[in-house]
């Protein structure tokens, strides 16, 4: 079974995807980490605006690098929004993601274009959203929990800028697949989101709660 979860930054899709993978006994891939990894490599080389360099980094990306804690930084997130607009980078990472999804017993993938591009034939597709203000609040809490200084207004501005880039890029823009179910998490806690997602997936795949 393949579950595709898309949505904007800080909508809660990553936390949800990890819980769903454990629940269904599937593997999980946070595809955003791939773009963050490429971005961080380019930032270290002061080449974030170089699409060809990004494609080269993507083609030689070491999966072990995906566990680097620096990938969770705001700089890596902002950089990922930039490099994900490069068609060369997206193409270089496309087959890696599809191979991961195709391996038994299946997978939960979360990102921006899973249901539309990476896994258009996924068994279940969710488009997870939340208001920009709520997403900024969540991001601020996450950063505070790591002991980082927080400017919530700046975070909100960054989220709005990322949304604009992601939704308006020429290649694989952020949008819900035609057959995706939208799940608005603005007023829901993590457990409520998880329960709602299970109900949606079980309904789409014909599973029973005990299966």
The residue extents of the domains of the chain are 4-13+15-203
Q: Is 11 annotated as a binding residue?
A: yes
Span 11-51, pLDDT tens digits = 999 999 999 999 999 999 999 999 999 999 999 999 999 99
- Higher-pLDDT residue of 131 and 77 is 131
Question: What pLDDT was estimated at residue 72?
Answer: 86
| Residue 203 annotated as part of some ligand binding site | no
210 vs 68, higher pLDDT: 68
Q: Using DSSP, state whether 149 is helix, strand or coil.
A: coil
Helices 51-59 and 32-44: crossing angle in degrees, nearest 10, is: 120
What is the 8-class DSSP label of residue 64? Answer: G
81 carries a ligand binding annotation: no
Does 8 show up as a binding residue in the annotation? yes
Q: What is the pLDDT of residues 111-151, one digit of tens each?
A: 999 999 999 999 999 999 999 999 999 999 988 998 888 99
Measured in residues, the chain has a length of 211
CB contact set of 85 (below 8 Å; sequence gap of 6+): 165, 169, 170, 171
Fill in the DSSP letter of residue 148.
-
| CATH architecture under which domain 4-13+15-203 falls | 3-Layer(aba) Sandwich (3.40)
Q: Using the predicted structure, report yes or no on whether residue 210 has a pLDDT greater than 60.
A: no
The answer to whether 79 is annotated as binding is no
Any known ligand binding at 115? no
Was 15 annotated as part of a binding site?
A: yes
Residue 10 is assigned to a ligand binding site: yes
pLDDT for 211 beyond 60: no
**Would you place residue 207 in the very low, low, confident or very high pLDDT band (cuts 50, 70, 90)?**
confident
User: How sure is the predictor about 209, in pLDDT bands with cuts at 50, 70 and 90?
Assistant: low
Tokens (6 digits) for 79 = 């950089």
Per DSSP, helices labelled H in 45-178 are 51-59, 74-83, 87-102, 132-145, 152-168
Higher-scoring residue by pLDDT: 129, 84: 129
| 12 marked as part of a ligand binding site | yes
- Other beta carbons within 10 angstroms of residue 14's beta carbon come to 19
């Amino acid at each position: 079974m393949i579950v595709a979860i898309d949505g904007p930054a800080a909508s809660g899709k990553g936390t949800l995807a990890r819980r769903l993978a454990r629940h269904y006994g599937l593997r999980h891939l946070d595809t955003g980490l791939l773009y963050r990894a490429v971005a961080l490599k380019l930032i270290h080389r002061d080449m974030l605006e170089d699409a060809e360099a990004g494609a080269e980094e993507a083609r030689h990306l070491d999966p072990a690098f995906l566990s680097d804690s620096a990938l969770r930084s705001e700089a890596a997130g902002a950089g990922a929004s930039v490099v994900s607009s490069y068609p060369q980078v997206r193409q270089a990472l496309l087959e890696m993601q599809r191979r991961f999804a195709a391996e038994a017993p299946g997978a939960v993938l979360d990102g921006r274009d899973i249901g539309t591009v990476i896994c258009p034939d996924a068994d279940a597709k969710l488009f997870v959203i939340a208001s920009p203000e709520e997403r900024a609040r969540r991001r601020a809490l996450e950063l505070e929990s790591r002991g980082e200084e927080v400017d919530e207004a700046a975070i909100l501005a960054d989220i709005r800028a990322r949304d604009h880039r992601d939704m308006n890029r020429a290649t694989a823009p952020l949008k819900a697949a035609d057959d995706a179910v939208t799940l608005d998490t603005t007023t829901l806690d993590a457990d409520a989101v998880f329960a709602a997602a299970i109900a949606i997936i079980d309904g789409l795949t014909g599973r029973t709660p005990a299966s």
